[in-house]
Structure 1
Amino acid sequence: MAYHIIGKKWMCLIIHSLMEEPKRFGEVCSLIPELSKRVLTERMKELEDSGIILRNIITDRPIRSEYSLTRKGHDLGVALQRVESWAEKWL
Structure 2
Amino acid sequence: MELTKTHLDDAVCPVARTAAIISGKWTLLIIRDLASGLKRFHQLERSLCGISPKTLSERLRSLEVEGIVIRQTYAEVPPRVEYSLTEKGQDLVSVIDCMRSYGKRWLCQDEPASERE
Structure 1 counterpart of 2:79: 63
Is 2:81 the counterpart of 1:72?
A: no
Is 2:11 the counterpart of 1:27?
A: no
Q: Secondary structure at the match of 1:21?
A: coil
Structure 1 counterpart of 2:64: 48
Q: Secondary structure at the match of 1:87?
A: helix
Q: Secondary structure at the match of 1:29?
A: helix
- Comparing 70-79 with 43-52, which one deviates more in the overlay? 70-79
Q: Cα RMSD over matched residues? A: 1.1
State percent identity of aligned pairs.
Answer: 37
CA deviations over 1:25-47 (Å, ceiling 9, x no partner): 11100001200001111100000
Question: Structure 2 length as normaliser, TM-score?
Answer: 0.73
Q: Using the alignment, how far apart are the partners of 1:78 and 1:22 within structure 2?
A: 18
Question: Structure 1 length as normaliser, TM-score?
Answer: 0.92
Q: Secondary structure at the match of 2:84?
A: strand
Q: What count of residue pairs does the alignment treat as equivalent?
A: 91
Q: CA deviation at 1:3?
A: 0.7
Alignment gaps of 5+ in structure 2: 1-16, 108-117
Structure 1 counterpart of 2:105: 89
Which of the pair has more CA radius of gyration? 2
Q: CA deviation at 1:48?
A: 0.3
Q: CA deviation at 1:78?
A: 2.1
